[in-house]
């Protein structure tokens, strides 16, 4: 396998020096971030719309997209882009309806919202849950998959790669949200530039393979040679229907996945919570535009690798334990890049991983410091103490991730789809608890607990239900398809939709019963004027919606 040359390392270290140097410059300019907790954790009032938008994307895009989504592109084609394109729609919904509620009610963390809307017990349960999830699932998977990808490209030891990524991320994160927000702008520049270069060269490879030249020609040849890889909506006969079940990717569980991720997720919403509404909405709209670009960077290379593989290339490189591993597609393509450009793409991948690690670590520190330490351990802590506790938490979380990650078998569990499915065990209940808490003042604390715990339990029940009950009666509606053993299973996206509906219905009856018995609730301040949109935001929103409509019409 080709490894990085001296020129590649020069390109990569230039990127490293630029990021760290710019981070130090921002940090020294904003010394206040060392002593003020709101400024440190949220960069209150100081991130511009373009910094918020770039930071949202940098925190979101990581090895799971570059490696896992490219792998899914190899396996099932453009349909996997629905996660990115539906995210653009979701971001608009979050900007219009969620951000006004958060900002009007001065909500800075997700547990704080739960305490304010429900009670301290619900908030503490979810704070501990989110900390465990972020440290032991998200941080470890980003770190390990990222190190695995970098190791396969550079030939460096995987443990060394993990330690390097952790130290790099800590250096950025210790400067606070302001440093993360502004360095993310450069990270996204490298991420998109390097990603587009990789896609361009992958399309050129396809063109050259079939006696043509140019990226446009390569794209047209891909559509011709792999027409089955350019359909967004699957029917029940498609072997990938279990992963992306028909119209559910537009109006069903996919919306719940995205709304929970983009609207109820500390490490995402945190970027916008320190801004005013106009700036927050502008940043989220910018992120939605960038989301439209992402499939070009993370899906098309996977399809290109599939076309080349079908034509006789990468026959041994794609194999793992005797079978084809789609997650190998992106690293293989990177290894074909010419010297220098490979360093740029290597920097892009590293930028995605480090930015995502920094964002996650900052959110872990925010939740632990403001919602656990300040609430339960030291209620009289000074601002400086809180900032220092936050910094210690960042280092501790990263150390735990480095130590624990190799023992979790993350590399054996698949890529992008696995992460989505198992996050989906908790998403429906959490989203039901948030959305009813926003817009229905009668929602009670016990109803919220039912959604949180019940949602998880129902997800497990639906997962294992096919082993006990024949679900073939759901097949005509597309809600169940047979697996390799002929057992009818519910696609996980549909499963999330069912669980969400059960949680909402359960919460309605519990809340109605309790309010009739005189239980008081803490409704948020919500009125129609909060949701009014500026003309510029409305124009941007309509442009994005028009592009989405066109994409789904062309690639239906």
Lowest mean pLDDT among 91-95, 423-427, 442-446: 423-427
Q: Give the mean pLDDT of 254-281.
A: 80
Q: What is the average pLDDT value for the chain, to the nearest integer?
A: 82
- What percent of the chain stands above pLDDT 70? 91
Q: Which residues contact 230 (CB under 8 A, 6 or more apart)?
A: 77, 78, 222, 223, 303, 555
Question: Domain coordinates of the chain in residue numbers?
Answer: 46-413, 424-525
Outline where 424-534 has alpha helix (H).
427-439, 445-449, 455-464, 492-516
For 18-32, write each residue's pLDDT tens digit: 877 877 787 777 655
Outline where 483-531 has alpha helix (H).
492-516
Q: Higher pLDDT residue, 316 or 222?
A: 222
φ and ψ of 246, to 5 deg: 50, -135
Query: 396 pLDDT band (50/70/90 cuts)?
Result: very high
* 3-27 b/e (C-beta count within 10 Å ≥ 16 → b): ebeeebeebbeebbeebeebbeebb
CATH architecture, domain 46-413: Up-down Bundle (1.20)
Q: Is the pLDDT of residue 422 over 70?
A: no
Q: Give the mean pLDDT of 440-447.
A: 88
Query: 54 pLDDT band (50/70/90 cuts)?
Result: confident
Contact 302, 79 (CB under 8 A): no
Q: Specify the pLDDT at position 1.
A: 47
CB burial class (10 A; 0-12, 13-18, 19+) of residue 465? Answer: middle
Q: Specify the pLDDT at position 33.
A: 44
Lowest mean pLDDT among 58-62, 143-147, 157-161: 58-62
**Looking at the DSSP assignment, which residues form a beta bridge with residue 320?**
323
Q: Measure the CA angle with vertex 53, ends 265 and 28; round to 5°.
A: 95
Q: Give the mean pLDDT of 343-364.
A: 81
For 291-313, write each residue's pLDDT tens digit: 998 899 889 998 998 888 888 77
Q: Is the pLDDT of residue 134 over 70?
A: yes
Q: Specify the pLDDT at position 89.
A: 93
The pairing of beta strand 323-324 with beta strand 319-320: antiparallel
Q: Higher pLDDT residue, 452 or 319?
A: 452
Q: Specify the pLDDT at position 512.
A: 92
Q: Is the dihedral of CA 135, 138, 142, 144 positive or negative?
A: positive
Helices 266-273 & 177-209 angle (0-180, nearest 10): 120
Q: Is the pLDDT of residue 361 over 80?
A: yes
In terms of pTM, does the model score above 0.85?
no
Q: Is the pLDDT of residue 342 over 70?
A: yes
Q: Is the pLDDT of residue 270 over 80?
A: no
Structure tokens at 11: 């390109």
Lowest mean pLDDT among 132-136, 385-389, 412-416, 507-511: 412-416
- For every residue of 37-88, DSSP letters joined together read HHHHHH-TTT--HHHHHHHHHHHH-SHIIIIIIHHHHHHH-GGGGHHHHHHH
* Alpha-carbon span 45 to 331, nearest angstrom: 40
Structure tokens at 386: 């809180």
Query: 420 pLDDT band (50/70/90 cuts)?
Result: low
Q: Which residues contact 11 (CB under 8 A, 6 or more apart)?
A: 340, 343, 344, 346, 347
Identify the top-confidence range among 180-194, 395-409, 426-440, 533-547.
533-547
Query: 481 pLDDT band (50/70/90 cuts)?
Result: confident
Query: 546 pLDDT band (50/70/90 cuts)?
Result: very high
CB burial class (10 A; 0-12, 13-18, 19+) of residue 508? Answer: middle
Q: Fill in the DSSP letter of residue 534.
A: -
């Amino acid at each position: 396998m080709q490894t990085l040359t001296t020129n590649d390392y020069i390109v990569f270290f230039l990127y490293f020096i630029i990021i760290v140097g710019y981070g130090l410059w921002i940090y020294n300019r904003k010394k206040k971030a060392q002593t003020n907790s709101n400024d440190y954790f949220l960069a209150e009032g100081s991130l511009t719309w373009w910094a918020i938008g770039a930071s949202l994307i940098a925190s979101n895009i990581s090895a799971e997209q570059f490696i896992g989504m490219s792998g899914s592109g190899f396996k099932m084609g453009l349909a996997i882009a629905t996660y990115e394109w539906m995210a653009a729609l979701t971001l608009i919904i979050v900007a219009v309806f969620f951000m006004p509620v958060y900002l009007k009610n001065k909500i800075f963390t997700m547990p704080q919202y739960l305490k304010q809307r429900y009670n301290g017990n619900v908030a503490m349960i979810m704070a501990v849950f989110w900390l465990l999830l972020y440290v032991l699932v998200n941080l470890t998977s980003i770190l390990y998959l990222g190190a695995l990808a970098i190791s396969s490209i550079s030939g460096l030891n995987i443990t060394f790669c993990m330690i390097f990524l952790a130290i790099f991320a800590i250096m950025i994160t210790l400067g606070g949200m302001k440093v993360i927000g502004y360095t993310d702008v450069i990270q996204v520049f490298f991420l998109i530039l390097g990603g587009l270069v990789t896609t361009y060269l992958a399309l050129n490879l396809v063109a050259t393979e079939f006696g043509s030249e140019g990226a446009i020609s390569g794209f047209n040849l891909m559509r011709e040679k792999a027409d089955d890889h350019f359909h967004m909506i699957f029917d029940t006969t498609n072997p990938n229907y279990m992963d992306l079940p028909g119209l559910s990717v537009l109006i069903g569980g996919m919306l719940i996945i995205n709304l929970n991720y983009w609207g109820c997720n500390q490490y995402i919403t945190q970027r916008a919570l320190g801004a005013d509404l106009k700036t927050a909405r502008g940043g989220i709209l910018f992120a939605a535009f960038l989301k439209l670009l992402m499939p070009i960077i993370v899906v098309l290379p996977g399809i290109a690798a599939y076309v080349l593989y079908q034509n006789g290339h990468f026959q041994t490189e794609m194999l793992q334990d005797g079978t084809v591993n789609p997650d190998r597609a992106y690293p293989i393509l990177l290894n074909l890049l010419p010297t220098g450009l490979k360093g740029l793409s290597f920097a892009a991948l590293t930028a995605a991983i480090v930015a995502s690690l920094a964002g996650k670590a900052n959110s872990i520190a925010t939740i632990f410091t403001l919602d656990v330490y300040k609430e339960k351990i030291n209620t009289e802590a000074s601002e400086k103490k809180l900032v220092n506790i936050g910094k210690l938490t960042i280092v501790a979380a990263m150390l735990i991730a480095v130590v624990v990650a190799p023992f979790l078998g993350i590399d054996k569990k698949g890529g992008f789809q696995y992460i989505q499915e198992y996050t989906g065990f908790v998403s429906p209940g959490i989203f039901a608890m948030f959305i009813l808490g926003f817009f229905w003042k009668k929602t009670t604390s016990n109803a919220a607990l039912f959604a949180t715990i019940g949602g998880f339990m129902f997800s497990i029940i639906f997962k294992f239900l096919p082993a006990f009950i024949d679900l073939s009666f759901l097949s005509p509606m597309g809600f169940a398809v047979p697996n390799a053993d002929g057992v009818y299973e519910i696609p996980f996206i549909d499963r999330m939709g069912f669980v969400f509906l059960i949680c909402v219905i359960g919460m309605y009856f519990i809340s109605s019963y309790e309010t009739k018995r005189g239980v008081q609730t803490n409704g948020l301040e919500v009125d129609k004027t909060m949701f009014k949109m500026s003309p510029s935001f409305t124009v941007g929103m309509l442009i994005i919606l028009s592009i989405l409509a066109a994409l789904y019409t062309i690639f239906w």
